[in-house]
Structure 1
């Protein structure tokens, strides 16, 4: 069985960035897993806030077709407090256990957690040891954060792979709607309307009605 692993810095990033692709590949017979690195935990949030987002994530996963998930429970914005080697080992362990053929990770955008997770995934997916199983590594965009980078000063998201999610867009939006505590009303940058509009824009760039864009980092046959 082919396997897809999506690494999400926070609950909802996986659906925002790759929800349609998750649905599509799950329907094509892929086993799909999500690794959520951090969450709304003390000291910035109450534990009750985390439990809400955890329940929302599990509901979204069920709609997306995710069959396996891990939650590392590192406090949001504090992933950088983890020793680099410790964080890398945690991600490598998941790759060892799941052996994904495709890994999708966040683009290193404005959010510090996204940048740190990107760096760790890059190390964990090197084509040596357990990383040899990964045939394609790509980054996804996350509404608001990816688009708030400083153009030409920081890295710009430049997609070179667009997945046609025309048949999956409505279910993606429904899964995103599971995150009631996280998704703002329009014109919020992460609103349902904004997510659908981005999918329409990315789709029309590639001749589809709706699409999800990725930047391929490495691909091997």
Structure 2
């Protein structure tokens, strides 16, 4: 049984949103799996580079990496929503997580919101599994400030450093996506930490719980 399953629309989403939490849970002995829905690149060569970055990030943070079945280069929006739900049903059946974390369904990015809706739909079959959402990674999105967390995970310095290293793998020559700013991510985590009196933290919305917050305990 997996302690935590993270469902991310693209490579880099999980690292930006909760890389510190993943690193910390791995250090505590919790088994963490990250499933990426789509690579979202427009050539096989670009997709291979982004997959390699995701694999390097997983080696640093300590999670197992899964790719949702399908054409690795397809966009999330190209996957029929019913098919996406079915793929997540099969994934959760195979991984058997105690908790799932995914995007906020109010995210301004349509592909993030679509992934979140599919996870919510899939949750009808999960039984005793907690569901959390992480907020937008980009402050420039119009709904960024509307995400209101109710769960915080304080980050110790080693987790902050592991997150920084995982993000930097995506800043390779010829990347087709936006350059990732690890300093901006650290500033955001410092602001979240300030909200709870910690040096740094990552924040989530708890939307479904069955028996507490098992994702915070070792398995």
- What is the TM-score with the length of structure 2 in the denominator? 0.86
Render the CA deviation track for 1:101-144: whole Å, top value 9, x for unaligned. Answer: 11010113111110100000001122xx3x0141x211112321
* 1:132 aligned counterpart, secondary structure: coil
Aligned counterpart for 1:194 among listed residues 178, 184, 192:
184
Aligned counterpart for 1:132 among listed residues 127, 136, 150:
127
Contact kept, 8 Å, 2:55 with 2:65, in 1: the verdict is no
Tell me whether 1:57 sits opposite 2:60 in the alignment: no
Using the alignment, how far apart are the partners of 1:81 and 1:175 within structure 2? Answer: 28
Per the TM alignment, residue 147 of structure 1 is displaced from its structure 2 partner at its CA by: 5.0
The alignment yields a C-alpha RMSD, in angstroms, of 1.9
- Which residues of 2 match residues 84-163 of structure 1 at below 5 A? 84-108=81-105, 109-126=107-124, 129=125, 131-134=126-129, 136-144=130-138, 148-150=141-143, 156-163=146-153
Aligned length: 204
Using the alignment, how far apart are the partners of 1:203 and 1:98 within structure 2? Answer: 31
Contact kept, 8 Å, 1:2 with 1:29, in 2: the verdict is no
Using the alignment, how far apart are the partners of 1:62 and 1:3 within structure 2? Answer: 18
Segment drifting more, 208-217 vs 102-111? 102-111
Q: Which runs of 5+ in 2 are unaligned?
A: 212-219
**RCO higher in 1 or 2 (8 Å CA, sep ≥ 6)?**
2
Partner of 2:34: 34
Per the TM alignment, residue 192 of structure 1 is displaced from its structure 2 partner at its CA by: 1.0
* 2:193 aligned counterpart, secondary structure: helix
* 2:146 aligned counterpart, secondary structure: coil
Contact kept, 8 Å, 2:149 with 2:204, in 1: the verdict is yes
Partner of 1:22: 22
- What is the TM-score with the length of structure 1 in the denominator? 0.85
Distance 1:50 1:8, change over 3 A: same
Distance 1:210 1:2, change over 3 A: same
Partner of 1:187: none
Render the CA deviation track for 1:127-179: whole Å, top value 9, x for unaligned. Answer: xx3x0141x211112321x651348xxx9210111101123101110111111
Distance 1:105 1:112, change over 3 A: same
